[in-house]
Structure 1
Amino acid sequence: MTAKREPISRRERPAKPALTRWGIVDAAVRVMRSEGLEKVTMRRLAQELDTGPASLYVYVANTAELHAAVLDALLGEVELSTDRPGTGWREDLVAVLTSYTRLLFEHPQLARSALVARPSGANYLDLVERLLLLLSRSGAPREQVAWGVDSLLQYATATAAEHATQEHEPMSQGDWDALTRAAHGVDEAGHPMIKAHLPTLLSGTQDARLSWGLNVVINGIIHTPVPDTTG
């Protein structure tokens, strides 16, 4: 005769860990890595954490804030300690921004989200602090350094979003191939400047263009005064 199973009391079940903002963001990062950023929703996280969606809003206001927090968590992987023998502030600045851009390359959906996300966590503040320090070593006025960091991050983020899309979406590669064919097939009479600048117009590796573009922005920051806003 089979022994009768003893019912398990609900009181004997282990208590669920208390919800925290850190725990919610950590779960969001796990879901993003395994399922993609589009799955990082309050409902999906509620399932992951065995709770109700309403409970999460106590810690995170909305999905946009959640995505910004995920971005901030990943920014902890950016290489900030770039001081190396024989390198100057410019090389170190480009190295930090390249590390940031490559991080976004690995997460194409997050790269696009980062164009509008406004992270404000510790990792983002550490990144901004490092960029300000390195850019200030150029000797540029404080106002240009302060405004310049925003331009550097915008350029790096937009570059990551563009290239991440091209590398992870087949249709984007098809669009690029079509543009390449169209550019090389233009009539010189109608588009003389395009014809004159080929093949350089479409040449260069991703890393080379990124480094060059960052230096263009840096040079602009150093040599472009901030307009007077006191009037």
Structure 2
Amino acid sequence: LSLSQVDLSLTHITPLCFRHTQHKPDQEPPQPPPLPKGLYGSMELIIVYIQGKTRKYLRYVRAAGPLTAVLSGTIFVKIFNPSSISLVGDIPQGLPSFSIPRAFGYATSLIPTALLITGVAILESVGIAKALAAKNGYELDSNQELFGLGVANIFGSFFSAYPTTGSFSRSAVNHESGAKSGLSGLVMGVLMGCALLFMTPLFEYIPQVLKEK
């Protein structure tokens, strides 16, 4: 029994778990518990990771495991259109516009939350940076990392950006894909910008349970 067979079996088992669920015509279709759907997404990531170690032709699929899970789930929803799966829905197209923050009246009340977010951002960013530095044998300048985070967040505030941090998942994908410099981050940013400008209609079919993969 191979892992690929287990993965294929899961695709058939999951729908069967809910085939007998009934609802009245005037009611919203019941939503399956998120646990089985989440378990399927997690199992797919685990299978891709293990298979990628033993089979060379799956190396890049392993590196892009979360993307593989999201793509497979999105294609399934697009083809079969199951009403029992909650979707991300419509996402506004385009990039955020430049604006100067003016809500300074909330600054005092936001200080505790801002400090908490800052702490998490520092721990996550420096943590993944140290892990990759140790794995690749180079010196890490923590001050430079924190300076970069600060500059990125200052500029991001003018575009209503989400707080900038180092990402475990994106850093892992970068490393597995063979990225050697910060240029990979620039390429990633350009691709994300193009996706927001031209590809948001495709995101409508991403299952909610897979959007954090």
TM-score, length-scaled by structure 1: 0.26
Structure of higher CA gyration radius: 1
TM-score, length-scaled by structure 2: 0.28
Which structure carries more relative contact order (alpha carbon 8 Å, separation 6+)? 2
